[in-house]
Amino acid sequence: MQIIEIYKSLQGESSFAGLPCVFVRLAICNLRCSWCDSEYTFKGGKKMSADEVETEVRRLAPDGGLVEFTGGEPMLHEREILPLMERLISKRYTVLLETSGERPLEKVPFLVHKIVDVKCPGSGEAGTFRNENLYTLTDRDELKFVLADRADYEFARDFVEKNMTGREIGNIIFSPAFRKDANGARSAEHCLLDPQQLAEWILADNLPVRLGLQIHKFIWQPQVKGI
Ligand code: SF4
């Protein structure tokens, strides 16, 4: 598989936010989100075998813990990563998969926590989410919507109301998009959508969702890689 980087940091998003986590960042993405902060994954990287990736994960976190497969789009490496996920789970790691949900997810091992980033109009990639993937979601999984403006919020709200009522899922997260050109002070002013505004919309509509901030962008400089 083609690996951009493997590193240990704090998990910045999802209900696991704040916990130490090893990130396995894979190369290549088939989408081009307007606010993407991982464009450096679109090409390059280093070919590594599953054994080599596992060795590096165990070096960084010998006692288990969280491991997230991210990218790029990790499901473009499905053939290699799915068996590796099974191996890591059998060795008591908690495995997360960050994916856009554009690729089929039914073969992802049952115990993996899927964090599925449904693209909204502001990303330029709305409509890429594969609706059949809704049937693969369990109470271990999370749906994430990264929002740039009111139109994105309404898209996400309508998606939740139409598709998620009565469905068992771990969490639904609405998260303000970060500016691609953000640098300097680590503050909410770098968000494309003001978190306070988003909080007020969520409360006004009484939505059963969690507001998520990308906390790594507030801890480290927004443009730093390997965080
Ligand atoms: S899916 Fe992720 S890696 Fe791919 S373009 Fe969108 S934000 Fe970037």
List, for residues 29-70, the tens digit of each pLDDT value. Answer: 999 999 998 999 999 999 999 999 999 999 999 999 999 999
Nearest-CA residue for ligand 1 atom 7 is 36
Band (pLDDT 50/70/90 cuts) for residue 164 is confident
Nearest-CA residue for ligand 1 atom 2 is 72
pLDDT for the residue 191? 85
How much distance in Å is there from the Cα of 38 to the middle of ligand 1? 7
pLDDT for the residue 224? 65
How much distance in Å is there from the Cα of 200 to the middle of ligand 1? 27
Band (pLDDT 50/70/90 cuts) for residue 165 is confident
Does residue 142 line the site of ligand 1, with CB under 6 A? Answer: no
Residue 41 sits at φ, ψ, to 5 deg, of -90, -5
This prediction has a pTM of: 0.93
- Average pLDDT of the segment spanning 144-162: 97
Q: How many CA atoms lie within 13 A of 175 on its CB side?
A: 28
Indicate whether 183 pLDDT > 90.
Answer: no
What's the whole-number average pLDDT of the chain?
Answer: 93
Nearest-CA residue for ligand 1 atom 6 is 33
Does residue 31 line the site of ligand 1, with CB under 6 A? Answer: yes
Band (pLDDT 50/70/90 cuts) for residue 223 is low
Does residue 36 line the site of ligand 1, with CB under 6 A? Answer: yes
- Average pLDDT of the segment spanning 138-163: 96
pLDDT for the residue 62? 96
Q: Tell me which of 189 and 93 has the higher pLDDT.
A: 93
Q: Tell me which of 127 and 180 has the higher pLDDT.
A: 127
CA dihedral 91, 11, 139, 213 (to 10 degrees): 180
Does residue 100 line the site of ligand 1, with CB under 6 A? Answer: yes
Q: What share of the chain is helix, strand, coil (3-state, %, to 5)?
A: 30, 25, 45
Band (pLDDT 50/70/90 cuts) for residue 226 is low
d(CA 112, CA 123): 26
d(CA 60, CA 190): 31
Does residue 160 line the site of ligand 1, with CB under 6 A? Answer: no
**What is the 3 state secondary structure string of 132-194?**
HHHHHCCCCCEEEEEECCHHHHHHHHHHHHHHCCCCCCCEEEEEECECCCCCCCCCHHHECCC
Q: What is the DSSP letter of 200?
A: H
